[in-house]
Structure 1
Amino acid sequence: MGMEVGVVQEQDQTLGILVVDDRVENLEDMQELLEEIERPVHCIDSGAKALEFLAQTQVGLVLLDVQMPRMDGFEVARRMREDPRTRFTPIIFISGMIQTDDVLSQGYGAGAVDFMSKPVQPAILLHKVRALLEHEQYRSSLLRLSQQLERERAFNASILDNTAEGIMVVGDDGRIRFANPAIARMLGCTSDELAGSELLGWIDTPHEDHWHTSSFHQHWQRGETLRLHDANLRNCEGRSVPVALSCSPLPDGQQAMILLALDMSVVRDLHRQLESLAITDALTGLLNRRGFLQELQASISRNERTGQKAALLFLDLDGFKLINDSLGHEAGDKVLRWVSGQLKACLRPYDRLARIGGDEFTVILDSLNSPSDAASVAHKLIDQISGEQQFEGMHFNLGASVGIACLPADGTTIEDVLRAADTAMYAAKRGGRRQFRFYDAEAQPLS
């Protein structure tokens, strides 16, 4: 029997929740619990129906049962990750299965962001649902902003073919004959001050020494249009102004050209902001998982090119779950920010620190003389955050287990190096926590 309840017309692109479970009573209980979230709730009683629903409707989160007939939750998750429309939709598995290492490996391998046991604890579930919905709403907003930026770039390109904000007429001697008010404002002077001055005196890049050998003059001589999308003007105070330039010969033997300048400051700043947001962890301000993977690939490439020794440290907090359970998730977030600051204080300015999820942190160390350098850093990090701590009126006991993978001995790809460091970290936990371990390929071979 198909079942769909609590479907509310989504407005302002508010993303709802999809609950998938083959037991009707579980769907009804989950719908009642999620009413507090004030988001649309869609309930589906099979994996196949859930995939059909997702093909038509965008949601912000999927709460997915594992043990279902015909198509289990793991298969639903794998198919979601193969579909571009649902590739990044967060999934929480909710199951009565015992969370063995094999079950967790299957769940996270299928693309889940969390795994909760039945019966769920309402407070914990609601906190995680709110956090993931907020993150998905933020990701969707960022995607819309990126799409808007691409539309604006296309629009700006069409402007370059017709008109632009700044207009100058330049004679064949390289001197400005006319400048409109827009270009004058862009350069921080008056149109009269521009008139009669040399164009090259206002061009920062591309750098040209002489007018008659410049690309502007040469294109004019050939009767061709010169377009520069990443140029820079120099204003009257000497500061650089990013612009897109289009320079075309004027017709009818006027012995002059028209230069159109479009101020790209806002667009380039917005692009830089988008790039920064995409690789930054919103809670701590550190690199997120995407930013970390980019930096790890760069370190691997440097090692291949120069032979420079490097290491990856994989750090997992000991005792953090107890802090979350006893003090609450808001306090847990504060502790994570405190930990980030403490770890950063132990590192060199050019070491790369990232939070890749939950209470997991990574550190990329370059320019090492020997593995003992990495061991020294790991020891310092553990000492810095371990023990009884006080922060903003909170008292808590914390520790850290660290796994170390060396480049290139423990891997030459992102996957191998990360797996080696993760394996070493779990060895440190099994060894008693609050310690570090180097990856041992013989003791713990990569699978």
Structure 2
Amino acid sequence: MVPDQDEPLEILVVDDRQDNLDDMQELLEAIEQPVHCVDSGPKALEYLAQGEVALVLLDVQMPRMDGFEVARRMRNGPHTRLTPIIFISGMAQTDEILSKGYGAGAMDFIAKPVQPAMLLHKVRALLEHERHRRDLLRLTRQLERERAFNASILDNTAEGILVVGDEGRIRFANPAITRMLGCQAGELIGSALLDWVEGGDAEEWQTSSFYLHWQRREDLRLHDANLRTRDARPVPVALSCSPLPDSEHGMVLLALDMSVVRDLHHQLESLAITDALTGLLNRRGFLQELQAAISRHQRTGQKAALLYLDLDGFKRINDTLGHERGDQVLRQVSVQLKGCLRPYDRLARIGGDEFTVILDSLGSSAEAAAVAQKLVQQVSDQAGEGDLSGLGVSIGIACLPTDGDTVEDLLRAADMAMYAAKRGGRRQYRFHQAES
């Protein structure tokens, strides 16, 4: 434990003669610091083990344990190895004695009888030195605590943190970013930042947004970015990059994993375009897919067809058997229709007993006719006897681009063709016929 800055610095006086202890106690009153006196080496060691002593004034010639032995034991103790020692002795200060004293760990050697002015000067100097040492130790421990606290924040924060030099190479990576990228810190340190950014390896560092913002001393925010894991899997992130002080020649980059948020967003988008009853696309999802088919045609010339389906005889089932049975029939028909289509064809329920199918990559209108006939036959065959007897489907077909090249035109054409199929006897399909 390091005493507070204002805590008194205690002096321990060790001498086997009481008169010497009394004289030293009186002399040291001028220092205005607490003084404790003991009359033997063992007592000195016992007292030193109990608390912090700032300075020891130690007699050399004492029975049982001399001052040299006390000093050696102090230097071997973890709490006393740095405690200053002044030997005070009546022995002649020969080279041998001085060597033995300094070798045992003394800071100074004063001969008896003591000259008060010299002793007080040396005591004050060593106490001041000890105060500075304790202040330095206190500051060092404070810095260590703050360093450990900061390191703990870096190690435990959920955000990924990278420090990147102005040459574009990573200098530091915290545990969160290594977990995010599925690698070890050693794999990141020294590597190019752009190697870990989706699409980043296609550009030069000096022309990248990271470098240009750093050069202008501006923050960079990317809310819809992707990092790339070691196995090339994209990780959606929000990135924040800020320049470090000029002397650091670099920037700090924070990456917040947005996987959960992005997944939730996709789930909400999916719910917004999904029919709750059947799990098919709803009207909104269908309109998006039809617009996408039109856009593909405009880019590639790829032909497509829109099938507009209306169930025959469904109103009777709904009115006589109830809405719950009606819902069961709609789900059943949805499964039947889907089983007749290719994986990339798009089936939707756009309301009530009305369905639509978008057929992509068609070679001719005959292919659309074949699919429509298959759908008519499937619903009729599955209806069978009982409460579903009489259930069928009428289908109108509009071809892209023959019958229109907008969502509205294709829907209108397919709807007109569907009503023509109903007027023609139901359970059949009809192509749209342009009015002459």
TM-score range, shorter chain: 0.5 to 0.7
Q: CA deviation at 1:281?
A: 1.0
Supply the distance in 1 between the matched residues of 2:204 and 2:302 (Cα, whole angstroms): 44
- CA change 1:236–1:312 in 2 (3 A) is closer
Counterpart residue identity of residue 186, structure 1: M
Which residue of structure 2 lines up, in the alignment, with residue 385 of structure 1? Answer: 379
Distance 2:324 2:383 in 1: 17
SS at match of 1:315: strand
- Between the aligned partners of 1:207 and 1:229, the Cα distance in structure 2 is 20
Between Structure 1 and Structure 2, the one with more helix by share is 2
Cα deviations by residue, 1:179-236 (Å, 9 ceiling, x for unpaired) = 3343344334566775555534433442257656654345434434333333222335
Tell me which amino acid in the other structure corresponds to 1:273: Q
SS of the counterpart of 1:427?
helix
SS of 1:382's equivalent?
helix
Partner of 2:248: helix, strand, or coil? coil
Does the alignment pair 1:418 with 2:380? no
Contact 2:317 2:387 in 1 (8 A): no
Call closer, same or farther: CA 1:311–1:219 in 2, change over 3 Å. same
Matching of residues 4-83 of structure 1 within 5 Å: none
1:202 is matched with: 196
**Structure 2 equivalent of residue 427 of structure 1:** 420
- Given that residues 170 and 256 in structure 1 are in contact (C-alpha distance below 8 angstroms), is that contact kept between their aligned partners in structure 2? yes
Structure-2 change in CA distance of 1:194 and 1:333 (3 Å): same
Confirm or deny: 8 A CA contact 1:323 1:396 kept in the other structure. Answer: no
Q: Secondary structure at the match of 1:207?
A: helix
Counterpart residue identity of residue 382, structure 1: V
The answer to whether the 8 Å contact 1:176/1:196 transfers is yes
The structural deviation recorded for 1:380 is 0.8
Shift of 1:304: 4.1
Within 5 A, what are the aligned runs for 1:39-438?
A: 165-188=159-182, 194-195=188-189, 198-207=192-201, 214-236=208-230, 238-387=232-381, 389=383, 396-438=389-431
Q: Distance in 2 between matches of 1:239 and 1:313?
A: 38
2:201 aligned counterpart, secondary structure: coil
Contact 1:205 1:231 in 2 (8 A): no
Identity %: 74
Q: Which runs of 5+ in 1 are unaligned?
A: 1-162
State how far apart, in whole Å, the 2-side matches of 1:180 and 1:379 are: 62
Larger Rg: 2
1:153-199 deviation digits (Å, cap 9, x = unpaired): xxxxxxxxxx9822222233444333334334433456677555553
Answer yes or no: is the 8 Å Cα contact 1:206–1:232 preserved in 2. Answer: no
- CA gap 1:342/1:249 in 2 versus in 1, 3 angstroms: same
TM-score (norm 1): 0.56
Partner of 1:30: none
The superposition leaves residues 346-374 of structure 1 with CA deviations (integer Å, 9 ceiling, x where unpaired) of 12222221111111111122332332222
Consecutive unaligned residues of structure 2, counting only runs of 5 or more, are 1-156
- 1: CA distance, partners of 2:281 / 2:233: 31
CA contact (8 A) 2:317 2:388 kept: no
Distance 1:333 1:192, change over 3 A: same
Deviation at residue 425 of structure 1 after TM alignment: 1.2
SS in 2 for 1:442: coil
